[in-house]
């Protein structure tokens, strides 16, 4: 049973999906990496600003070290002069500067302060420092708070001012504001880095597309070849059983088409119809295990012989369960002789306990048996067949499925009854390819 020539059409659709999904994946990865880089660079900048603030306070500590050694901060005027000189550097730091500095004695009293009143956000900056005597950290430690004012990072820092011996002589609290020029440069560098990360990811994704496409073509070709082999094996097994049972391939073809038409009308999912097709071809595969003197006996079977004949469903289940690809055919193979009222055989199931695929197939199988010519009987007419099926409603057959089938029966009888032509085989191949070729497509859901 060979495939048709529609694989390339499906592949073109897959190519579009692959390109779209790769582009989407590349975009998402680039966004995630870009955000990670942005956060990293932001942290680096933050650390640099903090380091600059600490360096500034250390510089002031070194500037007044002699004063701290001689009189501490008791000479408030001298401390204020040193602080004013610290804030009046002739060459401003391009990265930013302290816009507020307060020096406290060890009791928490203000000794000196420096306020850059020309700074536009000075009132907001004042809210970052302590109100009342602060609780200063121990020697070697510091407190830190980072806040953004109008998008500009401000670092509020407090730490001890120490003598050469390391003894705390005073405390300093300041707010360091990064310059707008520095912030503009930082933003530019960060966004340039993010841009290049995103660009590299997207270019890499684009370069991967033809490689993945080539690999998927090979995989699809192998999948299609494997599908051909599986379907051919399915057809050969079905044909071998039919011939051993004095039947023809046409019976398998007809019951397959009848079953699929009813399953489609019932609304079965494509995966279930795949299983139904397998079961239709292999429904009597278990007859391999039945002796010829029983299987080919022209007369009615004795009760003992019929008990042996019924074992073909168990043999069929055993055969199908040995194959991962065929195991879903078990519902039909093992239960197509069940009856709706529970009087059939297999496991003696009844009603909806019988798998729906088996209930569908049993209607198709009986319909084809009645409307086909056999060595021991002539083909029944449509009217005769319909009457026999109606008598089995609720006994042999699922009433709802039978009612649905009987609506279709005239058209199916006209189309398929007694057919053994080559076109029948091509129709089955078309239906089989339509359902099984879906397995060769790549699903992203």
8 A C-beta contact, residue 252 and residue 281: yes
Cβ atoms within 10 Å of 425's Cβ, excluding its own: 17
> Can you tell me the distance from the alpha carbon of 287 to that of 310, in angstroms, rounded to the nearest whole number?
9
8 A C-beta contact, residue 292 and residue 309: no
Domain regions of the chain by residue span: 11-188, 245-440
> Can you tell me the distance from the alpha carbon of 428 to that of 26, in angstroms, rounded to the nearest whole number?
43
8 A C-beta contact, residue 313 and residue 334: yes
Q: Would you say the pTM of this structure is higher than 0.95?
A: no
- Residue 444: predicted pLDDT: 37
> Can you tell me the distance from the alpha carbon of 94 to that of 48, in angstroms, rounded to the nearest whole number?
13
Nearest alpha-carbon partner for 285 in 314, 307, 308, 328: 314
Spell out the residues 6+ positions from residue 285 whose beta carbon is closer than 8 angstroms to its own: 237, 238, 241, 315, 316, 319, 320, 333
Could you state, in chain order, the average pLDDT of each consecutive group of 10 residues for the chain (445 residues)?
Answer: 46 64 73 73 70 81 85 86 78 71 88 88 83 70 82 84 87 84 72 75 76 70 64 69 66 91 95 91 86 83 91 90 86 94 93 96 94 82 95 96 96 90 85 74 43
Full DSSP string of 63-106: HTHHHHHHTTT--HHHHHHHHHHHHT-SS--TTEEEEEEEEE-T
Q: Does domain 11-188 have CATH number 1.20.970.10?
A: no
Q: What are phi and psi of 113, to 5 degrees?
A: -150, 160
> Can you tell me the distance from the alpha carbon of 157 to that of 177, in angstroms, rounded to the nearest whole number?
11
Spell out the residues 6+ positions from residue 436 whose beta carbon is closer than 8 angstroms to its own: 227, 231, 274, 277
- Residue 7: predicted pLDDT: 43
- Residue 6: predicted pLDDT: 44
- Residue 96: predicted pLDDT: 76
Cα–Cα distances in angstroms (integers) from residue 155 to residues 78, 99, 173, 422, in the given order: 26, 10, 10, 87
Q: What are phi and psi of 421, to 5 degrees?
A: -80, 170
- Residue 231: predicted pLDDT: 67
Kindly calculate the radius of gyration of the chain based on its CA atoms and give it in whole angstroms: 44
Nearest alpha-carbon partner for 186 in 194, 175, 197, 196: 194
Q: What is the CATH number that goes with domain 245-440?
A: 1.10.3210.10
* Helix or strand holding residue 205 (H, E): helix 180-244
């Amino acid at each position: 049973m060979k495939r048709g020539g529609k694989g390339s059409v499906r592949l073109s659709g897959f190519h579009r999906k692959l390109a779209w999904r790769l582009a989407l994946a590349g975009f998402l990865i680039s966004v995630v990496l870009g955000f990670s880089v942005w956060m990293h660079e932001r942290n680096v900048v933050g650390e640099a600003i903090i380091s600059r603030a600490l360096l500034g306070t250390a510089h002031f500590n070194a500037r007044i070290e002699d004063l701290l050694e001689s009189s501490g901060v008791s000479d408030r005027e001298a401390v204020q002069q040193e602080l004013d000189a610290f804030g009046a550097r002739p060459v401003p730091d391009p990265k930013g500067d302290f816009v507020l500095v307060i020096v406290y004695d060890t009791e928490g009293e203000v000794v000196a302060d420096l306020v850059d009143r020309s700074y536009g956000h000075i009132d907001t900056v004042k809210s970052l420092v302590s109100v009342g005597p602060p609780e200063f950290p121990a020697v070697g430690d510091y407190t830190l708070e980072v806040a953004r004012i109008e998008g500009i990072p401000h670092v509020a820092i407090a730490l001890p001012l120490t003598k050469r011996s390391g003894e705390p002589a005073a405390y300093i609290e300041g707010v360091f504001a990064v310059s707008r020029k520095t912030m503009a440069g930082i933003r530019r560098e960060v966004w340039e880095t993010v841009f290049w990360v995103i660009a590299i990811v997207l270019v890499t994704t684009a370069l991967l597309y033809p490689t993945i496409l080539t690999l998927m073509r090979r995989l699809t070709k192998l999948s299609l070849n494997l599908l051909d082999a599986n379907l051919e094996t399915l057809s050969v097994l079905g044909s071998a059983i039919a011939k051993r049972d004095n039947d023809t391939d046409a019976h398998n073809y007809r019951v397959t088409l009848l079953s699929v038409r009813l399953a489609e009308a019932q609304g079965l999912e494509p995966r279930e119809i795949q299983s139904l097709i397998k079961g239709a071809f292999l429904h009597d595969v278990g007859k391999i295990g039945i002796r010829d003197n029983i299987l080919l006996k022209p007369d009615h079977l004795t009760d003992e012989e019929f008990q042996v004949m019924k074992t073909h469903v168990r043999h069929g289940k055993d055969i199908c369960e040995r194959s991962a690809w065929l195991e879903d055919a078990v519902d039909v193979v093992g239960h197509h002789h069940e009856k709706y009222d529970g009087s059939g055989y297999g496991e003696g199931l009844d009603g909806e306990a019988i798998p729906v695929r088996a209930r569908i197939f049993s209607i198709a199988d009986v319909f084809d048996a009645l409307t086909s010519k056999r060595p021991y009987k002539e083909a029944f007419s449509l009217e005769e067949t319909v009457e026999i099926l109606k008598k089995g409603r609720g006994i042999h057959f699922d009433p709802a499925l039978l009612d649905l089938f009987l609506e279709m029966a005239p058209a199916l009888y006209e189309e398929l009854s007694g057919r053994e032509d080559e076109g029948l085989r091509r129709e089955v191949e078309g239906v089989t390819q339509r359902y099984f070729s879906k397995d060769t497509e790549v699903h992203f859901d």
